[in-house]
Amino acid sequence: MQPGFWEDPVSAKKVMRQLTSTRDTMESYAAIRKTLLDTKDLIALIESENTPDQTLIAEIRESLEKLETKIQEFHLKLKLSEEFDINGAIISIHAGAGGTEACDWAEMLMRMYFRWAERKGYSVSIVDSLDGEEAGMKSVTFIVRGAYAYGYLKSELGVHRLVRISPFDANKRRHTSFASVDIIPEIEDDIKIEINDKDIRIDTYRAGGHGGQYLQKTDSAVRITHIPTGIVVQSQNERSQGQNKETSMKLLKAKLYELEREKERAKIEKHYDEKGSIAWGNQIRSYVFMPYQLVKDHRTGCETGNISKVMDGDLDMFIEAYLSRKT
């Protein structure tokens, strides 16, 4: 209601986003509380009857199970209070030690995050991809868009280790593969990051990749190199060179902003040092397919034997354990 509020669209956008987030939180709380009180009244009614309705008891149990899940999700969301937690997430996956195996593993991780995003109702778009020589991907960068995508996915930063019987080994031997996952928040356009034209080199090239559901073929891919820092970003998913340039600049802006944030919190949490080299000893999580089945997060001790469920995008137990540790 302040005079001139809507005259500054950047500031207004920030306030409206905060308003939407706060309103969603309050509505979620109110819905959970109402369901809990209604269920409490039903339980009291059943307890007062001489012959309780077993069908109603079964319905209450089912309702309480669903309510417990909603409370856990609500509790987890309340842990997301850092500045950029509400933003979308830019994810880069790079194959490490393990050759073709590692490239295949990188693509498996990409699919895992795609499935997770699908479960959350988020949208995903690939901006760059480099295929492996025989299978999988050497690297891929994609953006997950949706409220709190970065807040949830920041827990995935680090090296992921896979142990399995190789489908590429005729002798069916067990192989260990590594891939790194880097997560940075998608920065809004109103963030002030100055990029001088003299500090960047822009190259154009023909896009490649296996197309299909992941990447569209185009003749207008753009690569931008930030000379002072050596940061390289590229985009080949859009059909026009202008759109690819705009996406690349957005990625560069996000990386430069994250670099500045890292400098500020270097003594507390080192983003890139925490990830380490993409090899043995630096993994944050291990996925063992053989000789037994186990997914274990080495930072929190959280683990499960249901590998197929995890690879199908069920990551919330690991995310919750990480956020609980952080808070």
Task: Supply the pLDDT for residue 267.
Answer: 41
φ, ψ (nearest 5 deg) of residue 59: -65, -40
Spatial distance between the Cα atoms of 255 and 228, rounded to a whole number of angstroms: 13
The strand ranges marked E within 186-220 are 200-205
Q: How confident is the model at residue 172 (pLDDT cuts 50, 70, 90)?
A: confident
Task: Supply the pLDDT for residue 326.
Answer: 64
Strands across the sheet containing 231-235: 200-205, 221-226, 231-235
For the stretch 113-154, pLDDT in tens is: 999 999 999 999 999 899 888 889 999 999 999 989 999 999
For the stretch 241-274, pLDDT in tens is: 888 988 998 899 888 888 877 775 554 344 445 4
Q: What's the whole-number mean pLDDT along residues 304-313?
A: 96
Q: What is the mean pLDDT of the chain?
A: 85
Task: Supply the pLDDT for residue 149.
Answer: 94
Task: Supply the pLDDT for residue 212.
Answer: 43
Spatial distance between the Cα atoms of 289 and 165, rounded to a whole number of angstroms: 8
CA atoms within 13 A on the CB side of 269: 8
Spatial distance between the Cα atoms of 140 and 114, rounded to a whole number of angstroms: 12
Task: Supply the pLDDT for residue 173.
Answer: 83
- The residues near 20 (Cβ < 8 Å, ≥ 6 apart) are none
What proportions of the chain, in percent to the nearest 5, are helix, strand and coil? 45, 25, 35
**227-245: buried (b, 16+ CB within 10 Å) or exposed (e) per residue?**
eeeebebbbbbbeebeebb
Q: What percent of the chain has pLDDT over 90?
A: 41
| Stretch (H or E) spanning 288 | strand 283-288
**Which two three-digit tokens encode residue 119?**
């479960």
Identity of residue 303: E
Q: Are 185 and 89 in contact (CB under 8 A)?
A: yes
Task: Supply the pLDDT for residue 264.
Answer: 55
Identity of residue 261: R
Spatial distance between the Cα atoms of 88 and 153, rounded to a whole number of angstroms: 9
Task: Supply the pLDDT for residue 272.
Answer: 44
Residue 211 has pLDDT above 70, yes or no: no
> Going by DSSP bridges, is the β-strand pair 200-205/294-297 parallel, antiparallel, or unpaired?
unpaired
Task: Supply the pLDDT for residue 91.
Answer: 95
Q: What's the whole-number mean pLDDT along residues 93-106?
A: 90
* Contacts by residues 209-218 (CB-CB < 8 Å, ≥ 24 positions apart): 209/129, 209/130, 209/131, 209/236, 210/129, 210/131, 214/126, 214/129, 215/126, 215/129, 218/244
Spatial distance between the Cα atoms of 314 and 305, rounded to a whole number of angstroms: 12
Residue 298 has pLDDT above 90, yes or no: yes
> Going by DSSP bridges, is the β-strand pair 200-205/123-131 parallel, antiparallel, or unpaired?
unpaired
Q: How confident is the model at residue 216 (pLDDT cuts 50, 70, 90)?
A: very low
Q: How confident is the model at residue 102 (pLDDT cuts 50, 70, 90)?
A: very high
